[in-house]
Amino acid sequence: MGLICAQRPALPPEPLAALDSPFNPDFLEPMRDAKPNKEKSPAKAASGDRPAGVRRPDAARIPGSSVHASLASEIGLRIVRGDYPPGTILPNEAKWSETFSVSRSAVREAIKMLMAKSLLASRPKIGSWVEPKERWNLLDRDVLAWYATSPDREVFLKTVQEFRHIIEPEATAFAAMRRTDEQMAEISQACREMGEATSLQERTRADTRFHLAILRASGNDLLVPLGVLIESAFDHLFAYTTRELDDLQHAQKLHEAIEKNIRLQRPDAARNAVRKLLANTDGVIRSR
Amino acid sequence: MGLICAQRPALPPEPLAALDSPFNPDFLEPMRDAKPNKEKSPAKAASGDRPAGVRRPDAARIPGSSVHASLASEIGLRIVRGDYPPGTILPNEAKWSETFSVSRSAVREAIKMLMAKSLLASRPKIGSWVEPKERWNLLDRDVLAWYATSPDREVFLKTVQEFRHIIEPEATAFAAMRRTDEQMAEISQACREMGEATSLQERTRADTRFHLAILRASGNDLLVPLGVLIESAFDHLFAYTTRELDDLQHAQKLHEAIEKNIRLQRPDAARNAVRKLLANTDGVIRSR
DNA sequence: GATCGCAATATTGTCTGACAATACACATAA
DNA sequence: TTATGTGTATTGTCAGACAATATTGCGATC
């Protein structure tokens, strides 16, 4: 055996139960055996009338779950989760292909997607290895989603909230200085819809739109991609959100204060208003 | 013709001169003709002893310039540059394949990489289209690099610097609170090497390491990926960096103040020290 | 004439099989 | 021991085929 840590033994006792796509559980069926049966290409297998290549009956019904996308999710999740620590050489393409009974092209496309997110790198004769964690693009929507499942929800939420404390007050101050009227309209509308929402989900959606609109209005293109963090935060915050009417109304007032200060172009006041809102959110989290 | 804006006419007068890989200029030669020659698979073509598929002689010598990687860079750059505005349907895979004389697989792998960066999305029968700019992952290393070439250097630098003002003071304050001894050692070493550097390039490298180490020491995983911004900033700042000895020494002192305050675990002082450094950098930029 | 349904069609998605390029690992030779 | 060459495993690239999909336009029906 070489020096480099080799791949794990394909996780034989853990046959990859539920895949990513929630509605299509066993779409990617794991390797059931090394040698399935002999009649591979010849005669059509029994009842099915699919001519040559063995093909699963109804593939990729859900938009985001083509074979390569599912593969990328599965492998990406495993990497972020720590199944293959940084530096590890992954199973080779043929192995993945066999494990999931998909073509090598699909595997390659999945791996290319993970390479684009800096989770992997590869070279001929070596294979694909996991990149050092510092290189991972944690702010990528998918990577963030995978990452959110790995540590404690609590820890993840704390990290995200801390990040929001850094970003949002300043972004909001910039928005107060540079917003256009159109951007202001988006912010105001989202704020209004928050107040008028009849369900918690509806409210959360409007809340998300509110904060994303502020990021866009900040006038700094680089702040916009951080919206994925806010979306993720709200996804994971949902379980914590209060059902108390008092708290809801208080939160609404805090949002309206932000809206007002952006509208009146008062950067400092807007910044402080956001700080208050974030402190309030922190309190909600802590009290659970 | 359909309603949706169709692809541009393949840019016939602009035959894609210099590709991304600086050392391998005409690696991807654009479509020279639709029908190259007839003897494709049969006899080996003249002197060359390559058996069947026509293949460029020395391909992919530079690590990052495999065919699919070059393609991704080229297409990605065009998208970010604005050749294909958001909503535009791209030329289809067969077209790219023909244009660059590469296989469809290579095109697909390139497109999959761009999809992973949220620059593209696609569906059968429709094609691949450019995603709205808000979805682009501008904080991705590659996207950022492409983005850096498109607007004015000046504007780009200003945006990045503004972002640094938001992030780095807080990150440094956290580092002062939470750094481990190992992380402190990295920071101190980078700071020392900055002072001892004999070339501007060497100094810039150490400078970059210094700031990245601080981000890592902040104890917030989500701050680490923002390192690409700092790297990019220094890349583009290089032209501005001072050669005046006085300024150099002043900058060095500012860095050492940061190092010291992190070492002594004084968050507020560290934050202020970073603010001073950034103000100094802003001054350098403005004065040119 | 308007609306609905259906087929034609264009494009991505997937599979298969083959060969090239690469660089580590080992055996061999100096 | 060191240097050199060969073996070999893995990704990279190519080619060709068919499936899945959803728009588009046409035709049928109300």
Domains of chain B, with CATH numbers?
A: 16-30+63-150 (1.10.10.10), 152-286 (1.20.120.530)
- The token pair at A169 is 């007050």
User: Stated in angstroms, how far is B49 CA from C21 C1'?
Assistant: 15
Beta-carbon contacts of B242 under 8 Å, excluding residues fewer than 6 positions away, are B248, B251, B284
Using one digit for the tens of pLDDT, what is the confidence trace for A24-76?
Answer: 334 444 433 333 333 333 333 333 333 333 333 333 334 457 999 999 999 99
Using one digit for the tens of pLDDT, what is the confidence trace for A95-142?
Answer: 999 999 999 999 999 999 999 999 999 999 999 999 999 999 999 999
Q: What is the pLDDT of residue B22?
A: 31
Q: What is the pLDDT of residue B240?
A: 78
Using one digit for the tens of pLDDT, what is the confidence trace for A212-254?
Answer: 999 999 999 999 999 999 999 998 888 777 667 778 899 999 9
Residues of B in contact with A118 (CB under 8 A): 141
Residues of B in contact with A163 (CB under 8 A): 220, 222-223
Query: Furthest-apart CA pair in chain B: how many Å?
Result: 75
Could you list the pLDDT tens digit for every one of the 288 residues in chain B?
A: 322 233 333 332 222 323 333 333 344 444 333 333 333 333 333 333 333 333 333 333 344 579 999 999 999 999 999 999 999 999 999 999 999 999 999 999 999 999 999 999 999 999 999 999 999 999 999 999 999 987 778 899 999 999 999 999 999 999 999 999 999 999 999 999 999 999 988 999 999 999 999 999 999 999 999 999 999 999 888 877 766 778 889 999 999 999 999 999 999 999 999 999 999 999 888 876
Question: Which residue in B118, B123, B220 is closest to A159 by CB distance?
Answer: B220
How many angstroms away from the CA of B175 is the closest CA of chain A? 13
A134 with B227: Cβ contact below 8 A? yes
State residue B202 phi and psi, 5-degree precision: -60, -45
User: Stated in angstroms, how far is A105 CA from C16 C1'?
Assistant: 10
Query: Is pLDDT at A168 greater than 50 in this prediction?
Result: yes
Label residue A9 by pLDDT band (50, 70, 90): very low
Mean pLDDT of A73-102: 95
Contact residues, A window 181-220, toward B, CB-based 8 Å cutoff: 216, 220
pTM for the structure as a whole: 0.81
Q: What is the pLDDT of residue A153?
A: 82
Q: What is the pLDDT of residue B242?
A: 66
Q: What is the pLDDT of residue A244?
A: 75
- Report the distance separating Cα B60 and Cα B63, nearest Å: 7
Q: Of all protein residues, which has its CA closest to the C1' atom of C23? A: A125
Q: What is the pLDDT of residue A64?
A: 57
Share of residues in chain A with pLDDT > 90 (%): 67
Does residue A249 reach within 7 angstroms of strand D, measured from its CB? no
Q: Do residues B107 and B67 touch, judged by C-beta distance below 8 A?
A: no
A19 φψ region: left (φ > 0), alpha (ψ -120 to 50), beta (else):
beta
Q: Which of A109, A211, A214, A226 would best serve as a mutation to test chain B binding (most B beta carbons within 10 A)?
A: A109
Q: What is the 3-state secondary structure (H, E, C) of chain A?
A: CCCCCCCCCCCCCCCCCCCCCCCCHHHCCCCCCCCCCCCCCCCCCCCCCCCCCCCCCCCCCCCCCCHHHHHHHHHHHHHHHCCCCCCCECCCHHHHHHHHCCCHHHHHHHHHHHHHCCCEEEECCCEEEECCHHHCCCCCHHHHHHHHHCCCHHHHHHHHHHHHHHHHHHHHHHHHHHCCHHHHHHHHHHHHHHHHCCCHHHHHHHHHHHHHHHHHHCCCHHHHHHHHHHHHHHHHHCCCCCCCHHHHHHHHHHHHHHHHHHHCCCHHHHHHHHHHHHHHHHHHHHCC
